[in-house]
Amino acid sequence: MTILRRTVRATAMTGALLAALAATPATAADFGFPVLVPVTGFLSLEGTSQRNGAVLALRKAPAGIGVRSTVIDTGTSPETAVTALDRAAGGGDPVLAVAASMLGTQMLAMLPLAKEYGVPLVTVSGTASITEQGNPWVFRFFPGDAVTKAAHARYVVEELGKRRPAVIHQTTAYGQSGQAHLKAEFERLGVRPVFEEGVDASAKDLLPVITKALAAEPDVLVLHLHSAPTALFIRQAAAHGVTLPVVAGSAMHQPSTAALLDPAELKGVCAETAASPVSGGSPAVEAFTAEYRAAFGTEPDAFALGQYDGMRMVLDAVAGGARTPDAVRAALSAGRHEGLAMTYRSDGKGNMAHSAVIVCYDGRSRVPAIAKRYDDVTGVLK
Amino acid sequence: MRRGLGGGLPWAGLLYAAGAAALCLYALFGATPYGLRVLTVAGVYALAAIGFQIVFGLAGALSLAQGAFFGLGAYASGILSSQFGWDFAATLPAALAVPLLVALVVGLPVLRLESHYFALATLGIAQILLLAAVNLPALTGGANGLAGVPGVVLFGRTVPRGLPLAALVWGIVAVGGLLAWRLSVGRWGRALTLVRDDPMVAATLGLDVGRLRLGAFALSALFGGAAGALAVHTQRVVSPEVLEFPVMVTILTVAVVGGRGRVAGAVLGAVLLLHLPEWLRGLERGYLLVYGAALLLTIVLAPHGLTGLVERLLPARARPLPAPRPLPEPAAPHTEPLRVEGLRKAFGGVWAVDGVSLAVPRGAILGLIGPNGSGKTTLINLVSGLERADAGRVLVAGRYATALRADARARLGVARSFQAGALPAAATVLEAVAAARLERSRGVAEAEGQGMAVLHRLGIADHAATLCGGLPAGLRRRVELARALARQPAVLLLDEPAAGLTDAEKRELAAHLRALAGEGLGILLVEHDMGFLLPLATRVVVLDQGRTLYDGPPQGVRQDRRVVAAYLGEGGGA
C-alpha cells in the first residue's frame, strides 16, 4: 500500500471516527476533548500516531457522556500551537482536556495559555522542561528523558557491558535534552563517552559522523536521533560493514522507522522506548494493536499507546464524576491508572510515566522483542 | 516605477478604507479570543511584511534576512523580558536596535552582491543566527528556547490578550504602515524604485545606490525587529522556530500575494494568508493542498498581487499634471566641461579603450565615431563612471573624477543617455524625467514641477502622463534627452541618440542640440549617422580598436584614408 493510500485511508478513518463522535446525540453532559497535534511537518509521523491514539481512546466515551473532538494540526511552530489552543478552548464550549502536541517548543508555548484557560494538557512530549515550569495543567504520558535515558544508558553499561560509547544526537530540542540526560546518566554509571556529536535533522549524509565516531574506537554506538536520521544512520552503518552494537533512541522502535530498513540491517540494533505495542506482551495490548490496525491501516507505536492511555485516564476521571477541567486535573494529579503500556501516576509535576523498555531486532523481522524492562525509574510508584 | 499606496487611487483607497473599517468592526464586535489571536498574529506579520516591502518591493533587493531580523527582535525582547524582567517599553527599542545593528554591519558587504548572490548571502545570515540560537543555550535556551516570556507589559501594566493586545499590535502596524507609505511616495521611495528598476541609471542620475539600499535594508530590519518583539510576547515563548525559514517564506508570500511594494499589499496579504490556513485547518493534512492551490490561483489570477488586481479593476483616475517650476539657475559653464587623458580599459586580454585623450570645451559638440566594437560606449561608460579605468584621468569641469563613483560624477555635472533605451516601462514620462531631479529637489512635487519645465522645453509636455513602456522610438529618445537635461549637466554624453528616428525627428533633435550647445553645454555625441553627425559636430574623434584614429574637424573625416579604410568605406558613410 502506498504512503498516499495509507494517508488517505487514515484520514478517512479519522474523519469517520470524528464524524461518529460529533454525531453523538447531544446530552446534558457534552464535553470537548480537542486533539491538537502536529500532523504536518517534520514530526508528522509521530504526530499522526499521537492523533490516532487519542482518537481511538475517545471512541470509548463513558456512558452518558457526549464527546466532541476535533483534530487541529499544530504544524511545527509554537505560534500555530497556541492559536490552535485558543481556537479549541476559547470558543466558550466546555473543554475538559486537550490532547496536546508532542513537540516540546509547542508545549512550552501552550502552557501559559492552558493555565489561563484552566484546561489540562495531556501529551506524550518527551521534552524535560515542559514539566519543570511549575504549571499544574500539564500531564505527560510518555516517560521523559530522565526515565528513558536512564534505561538507555543502563542497558548499554549494565546489560551489554560497554564502557566506550559514542553518542550521536540531534541538534533539536529533543536531541539536546536527550544528550544532556544521557551524559549525566553515563557519568553516574562511571562511563565517559569517547565521542559526542550533534547532527542537524536535515542532514542527508551521516557517513562523515559515522567515520568520525568509529575513529574514536567506541565499543557501542548510542543514538538519540529522530526517525528518518535514525534509519539513515543504521542503513549507512550497515552498508559500510559496521558491526558494533547500536542502541538507539525511541524513534527506532516506531514501525514506520523500521519500515525504512531491511530486517538484515536491523541486526544488533536495540532501542529504548516507553512501549512497543507491535511486540505484544499482553492480550490487552494485542487487542489495542488489532483495533488500531483496523482503524488506521498502520502499526501503532509507543506514542499512540501513550496518548491512548492518557486520554483513557481522562475519560476514566470523567466516568468517575469529573465534570470540570479542574476536576479532571485533580484526578490526573492524584490518581493512578493501569494503562496498557504501564502504570501511570504523577510525580507531582505532571510526569505520569516512569517505566521504559529496551527492544531489540533479531535481523529477520521488523518487529522487535522486548529485551529489558525498567519500571519505576524515578521511584514515584508505590 | 510604481507609485505607493494612494497615488491617485480614490476608489481603491476607499475600498481599502472600507476593508479596514470592516476589520475593526469584526475585532470589536464579532471576534472570539481565537479570532483576535489570529488577527493579532496577522498584524505581526503585516508589520514584518511592510518592512520587507521596503527592501524587496521598493528597493528590489531579495533580502532573505527579514525572517532573521524578525527572530533577532523576538530573541532580544524575549530574553530581556523573561530573564531580566524588562518592560516592553525598554525591550522594544532593544528589539529594534539589535537587528538594525546586524543589518548595518552585514549590509555593507552583502548589498554589493548581485541579486541572486545577495539573496543567498542574506539567507546565510539567517542560518548563522539559527545555529547560534541552537548552540548558545546559556543565552537563548538552546533548541528548546526560553519559556516564561510574559505578555506585553507596558509601563508596569500587562496588556491583556484579546482585544487590547490586538489593538496595540494593529496600532503599531498603523503607525509603521503610515511611515512606510509616506516614505514610499516621497523622494526616498521614488529614488528606491529607480534603484530597483535600473541601478546603473539611478547612479548616473546622481543617486547613491549603495546608501539607498543600505537604508532600505536597515529600515526593513527595524520593522522585522518590531514584529519579532510583538510575536514573542504574543506566543509567550522564544525558540529557534522564529529564526527558521518558514517565517521568511510567510513574509515573502504575504508580500507577493498582497502586492509587491505596497503597504496595503502587506496588510491585505497578512490578513488573508494568516486566516486562510485557519479556515482550512480542519482538513488536517489536506489543508496544505488546498492552501497551496489557493496561493497558486491567486498568483496566476493576480500576478501583481491583490492590490495590483484591485488597481486593475479600479483604475487610477488621471492625476492633474503639476505646473512647471523653473529649475535653479545653473552654475556658469566651465571652459572645459570634460577632459580625458590617456584613458585605458581592458576586458580580459582585449584593450577596449587604449590611451584615448579628448576634450569637450564649453559649447562644443564633439562627435565620437568608429566601427562597432571600437570602444565608443566603453569610453562613455568610463567617463560616466559605470566602468573603472585601468589607467588615465577624467576631469569633469576641471575636477578630477577618475576615482569617483557614477553618482558622484553625476553630481559633478556628467549626464548621459543610453544606447538601449533605459526608461522604466511602468513609469510615466513625467516620473521618468522628474527622477533626474530627485537628488537635487526638496520633494517629489518640486522634482515633478521641474520635470514639467524640461518637458515643455523639449515640446513633449503633452506626453507627461504617458507610460514610458508604450512610447515610440523617437519620443523615447527625446524623453531620455529630457531626463539627462533635467540634471542641468556640464557635459552631456549621448549614445546614438538618432538611432531609429525619422528624418524630421533627426532635424528636430539636431536643432535642440545646437541650442543646448549655444547655452554653453558641452556635448559628446556618439553616432553612426554621418549625415546627422558631421553637420552638427564642432570636432570629431574616430576610434578603432580602442585607439584614436582621427581627431580633427568634421570636414576632414571623409578625407582621412585610415578612417575610410577602417570605418566609412569607399562609399563615404551614410
Q: How far is A47 from chain B (nearest CA, A)?
A: 11
Task: Give tens-digit pLDDT for A62-86.
Answer: 888 889 999 999 988 999 999 999 9
Mean pLDDT of chain B: 90
More confidently predicted of B15 and B70: B70
C-alpha distance from residue B384 to each of B28, B159, B321, B370 (Å)? 58, 57, 32, 19
Which among A83, A92, A104 has CB closest to B37? A83
Chain A CB contacts of B231 under 8 Å are: 79
Asked if A150 is an interface residue toward chain B (Cβ–Cβ < 8 A), one would say: no
The partner residue sitting opposite A11, judged by closest CB among B37, B285, B288, is B285
Please indicate whether, in this complex, the C-beta atoms of B235 and A109 are within 8 angstroms of each other: yes
Among B143, B147, B235, select the one facing A176 at the smallest CB separation: B143
B437 within domain boundaries: no
Chain B: closest CA distance from residue A86 (Å): 5
Residues A140, A100 contacting (CB under 8 angstroms): no
Q: Are residues B477 and B537 in the same domain?
A: yes
Are A68 and A34 contained in the same domain?
Answer: yes
Residues A126 and A157 in one domain: no
- Domain span at A94: 3-143+281-351
Pair B51, B167 in one domain? yes
Which is more confident, B97 or A228?
A: B97
- Of A2 and A151, the structure prediction assigns the larger pLDDT to A151
Domain co-membership, A345 together with A322: yes
* Cross-chain residue pair A73–B38, CB shorter than 8 Å: no
Note whether residue A380 is domain-resident: no
CATH code for position B477: 3.40.50.300
Identify whether A381 is part of a domain: no
Q: Are residues A237 and A361 in the same domain?
A: yes
Residue A321 lies in a domain: yes
Domain boundary among B279, B313, B347: B313
What does the pLDDT average to over B56-61? 91
- Asked if residue B169 and residue B35 are part of one domain, the reply reads yes
Q: Is the pLDDT of residue A308 over 80?
A: yes
Whether residue B200 contacts residue B417, with contact meaning beta carbons closer than 8 Å, is answered with no
Residues of B in contact with A77 (CB under 8 A): 241, 246
C-alpha cell at A87: 481556537
Q: Is there a single domain that holds both residue A236 and residue A346?
A: no
Asked whether residue B482 is assigned to any structural domain, the reply reads yes
Query: Is B58 in the same domain as B145?
Result: yes
Q: Do residues B226 and B158 both lie within one domain?
A: yes
One domain for residues B306 and B343? no
Residue B263 lies in a domain: yes
- Overall domain count for chain A: 2
Give the 3-state secondary structure of residue A164. coil
> Is B289 inside any structural domain?
yes
Residue B257's pLDDT is 92
Query: Cell triple for residue B455?
Result: 518637458
Among A3, A1, A33, A37, smallest CA distance to A18 is for: A33
Interchain contact, A11 vs B148, CB within 8 Å: no
Q: Which CATH number does the domain housing residue A159 bear?
A: 3.40.50.2300
CB B246 within 8 A of CB B284: no
**Chain B nearest C-alpha distance from A199 (Å):** 12
Task: Give yes or no for residue A7 having a pLDDT over 70.
Answer: no
Mean pLDDT (whole number) for B347-351: 89
Note which residues in 295-324 of chain A have CB less than 8 A from chain B. Answer: none
Chain B residues near any Cβ of chain A (below 8 Å) = 32-34, 37-38, 41, 134-135, 137, 142-145, 147-148, 231, 234-237, 239-241, 246, 278, 281-282, 284-288
Q: Is the pLDDT of residue B415 over 70?
A: yes
A127 and A257 share a domain? no
Q: Give a yes or no: residue B573 inside a domain.
A: no
Quick one: A363 and A338 in the same domain? Answer: no
Which of A18, A50, A105, A225 best probes binding to B when mutated, by most B CB atoms within 10 angstroms? A105
Residues B368 and B306 in one domain: no
Tell me if B235 and A82 make a contact (CB, 8 A cut-off).
Answer: yes
Cell 521596503 sits at which residue?
B54
Write the DSSP symbol of residue B564: I
Assess whether A340 and A198 both reside in one domain: no
Strand partners, A273: A357
Report if residue B303 sits inside a domain. Answer: yes
Beta carbons of B239 and A71 less than 8 Å apart = no
pLDDT of residue A58 exceeding 60, the answer is yes
β-pair partners for B356: B343
Give tens-digit pLDDT for A111-163: 999 999 999 999 999 888 899 999 999 999 999 888 999 999 999 999 999 99
Contacts of B41 in chain A (CB under 8 A): 79, 83
Chains A–B, number of C-beta pairs less than 8 Å apart: 101
Instruction: Look up the domain containing B541 and give its range.
Output: 338-423+471-568
Q: What percent of chain B has pLDDT over 90?
A: 68
Element (H, E) at B315: none
**Does residue B464 fall inside a structural domain?**
no
Closest Cα in chain B to A34: B282
pLDDT band at residue A17, thresholds of 50, 70 and 90?
very low
Facing residue for A108 by CB, picked from B134, B147, B288: B147
Closest approach of B135 to chain A, Cα-based (Å): 8
Between CA B153 and CA B169 the distance in angstroms is 13
Domain boundary (B245, B280, B313) is at: B313
Same domain, B307 and B196: yes
Q: Are residues A48 and A114 in the same domain?
A: yes
Best residue in A6, A79, A125 to probe B by mutation, most B CBs within 10 Å? A79
Number of helices and strands (H, E) in chain B?
Answer: 22, 12
Instruction: State whether A184 and A287 are in the same domain.
Output: no
Distance in angstroms (rounded) separating the CA atoms of residues A126 and A206? 24
Residue where the block lists cell 551614410: B574
Q: pLDDT (tens digit, 9 = 90+) per residue, A315-374?
A: 999 999 999 999 999 999 999 999 999 999 999 999 999 999 999 999 999 999 999 999
The predicted structure's pLDDT at residue B470? 85
pLDDT of residue A173: 79
A111 closest CB neighbour out of B34, B147, B286: B147
Average pLDDT of chain A, as a whole number: 90
Positive/negative CA dihedral, B385, B519, B397, B365 = positive
Same domain membership, residue A105 and residue A83: yes
Give per-residue burial for B222-245: e unless 16+ CB within 10 Å, then b: bbbbbbbbbbbbbbbbbbbbbbbe
Residue with cell 567617463: B383
Q: Is residue B452 part of a domain?
A: no
Chain A residue with Cα closest to B284: A73
Q: How far apart are the first and last CA of chain A?
A: 46
**Mean pLDDT, to the nearest integer, of A170-196?**
93
Write out the E strands in B308-413.
338-347, 350-360, 365-369, 391-396, 399-400
Does A174 sit within 8 Å of B287, measured CB to CB?
no
| Inter-residue long-range contacts of A128-136, CB under 8 Å, 24+ positions, other chains counted | A128/A177, A128/A181, A129/A104, A129/A177, A129/B144, A129/B147, A130/A104, A130/A350, A131/A349, A131/A350, A131/A351, A132/A349, A133/A108, A133/B147, A133/B148, A135/A111, A135/A350, A136/A329, A136/A333, A136/A350
Q: How much is the pLDDT for A9?
A: 53
**In terms of CA atoms, which chain B residue is nearest residue A127?**
B144
Percent of chain B with pLDDT over 70: 97
How far is A285 from chain B, CA to nearest CA, in Å? 28
Q: Is the same domain home to A111 and A138?
A: yes
Mean pLDDT across B438-444: 90
Whether residue B39 is found in the same domain as residue B111: yes
Neighbour count for residue B349 (Cβ, 10 Å)? 5
pLDDT digits (tens, 9 = 90+) for B471-515: 888 888 899 999 999 999 999 999 998 888 889 989 999 999 999
For A:53-112, CB contacts with B below 8 A are 70-73, 76-79, 82-84, 86-87, 90-92, 104-105, 108-109, 111-112
The nearest alpha carbon in chain B to A44 belongs to B285
Q: What is the pLDDT of residue A172?
A: 82
Same domain, B274 and B349: no
Contact (CB<8Å) B33/A86: yes
Q: Residue B8 has what pLDDT?
A: 47
Neighbours of B508 (CB within 10 A): 16
| Residue that wins the pLDDT comparison between A34 and A200 | A34
The total domain count for chain B is 2
Q: Which residue among A11, A73, A111 places its CB closest to the CB of B281? A: A73
Which residues of chain B are within 8 Å of residue A90 when distances are taken between CB atoms?
32-34, 37
Which chain A residues contact residue B38 at CB under 8 A?
83
User: How does residue B1 score in pLDDT terms, banded at 50, 70 and 90?
Assistant: very low
Predicted confidence band at B421 (pLDDT cuts at 50, 70, 90)?
Answer: low
Please indicate, yes or no, whether residues B477 and B386 belong to a single structural domain of this protein: yes
Closest CA to B173 of B68, B16, B45, B56: B45
Which tens digit of pLDDT belongs to each residue from B133-166? Answer: 988 989 999 888 999 899 999 999 999 999 999 9
Q: Are B522 and B446 spatial neighbours (Cβ–Cβ below 8 Å)? A: no
Residue A185 inside a domain? The answer is yes
Please indicate, yes or no, if residue A15 is contained in any of the structural domains. Answer: yes
Q: For A214-243, give one letter per residue: b (16+ CB within 10 A) or e.
A: beeebebbbbbbbbbbbbbbbbbbbeeebe
Distance, CA of B396 to CA of B57 (rounded, Å): 35
Same domain, B227 and B364: no
Cβ pair A173:B231 closer than 8 A: no
Q: Is residue A170 a contact partner of residue A198, using CB atoms and an 8 Å limit?
A: yes
